[in-house]
């Protein structure tokens, strides 16, 4: 949903700009984002993204990246089981990519 970027960048490259762009697209479609949750892998585990989500009243369901934290945050693991099911379903759908293309 974010505008493609030239070059090689990490997952959090200009995350605030990207997140705001995606949020604005949802709002222009009439979708209220307050109270929804996003699923993200460990590459998106950052204080910046979590604080943006808090400001926008969005639940950040982000896998904890052990390189970014020294303490185990139990609250961040709330949706772990759901995220696994969603990721497994996405992988299953991705297996049919040749049919989709």
What are the average pLDDT values for consecutive 10-residue runs of the chain, which has 101 residues?
A: 73 86 90 86 85 90 74 55 75 76 59
Q: What is the pTM of this model?
A: 0.61
How buried is residue 67: exposed, middle or buried, by Cβ count under 10 Å (0-12/13-18/19+)? exposed
């Amino acid at each position: 949903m974010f505008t493609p970027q030239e070059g090689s960048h990490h997952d959090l490259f200009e995350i605030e700009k990207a997140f705001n762009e995606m949020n604005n697209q949802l709002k222009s479609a009439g979708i209220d984002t307050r109270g929804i949750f996003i699923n993200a892998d460990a590459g998106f585990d950052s204080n910046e993204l979590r604080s943006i989500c808090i400001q926008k009243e969005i639940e950040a369901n982000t896998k904890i990246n052990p390189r970014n934290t020294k303490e185990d945050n139990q609250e961040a693991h709330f949706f772990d089981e759901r995220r696994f099911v969603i990721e497994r379903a996405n992988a299953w759908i991705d297996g049919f990519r040749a049919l989709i293309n």
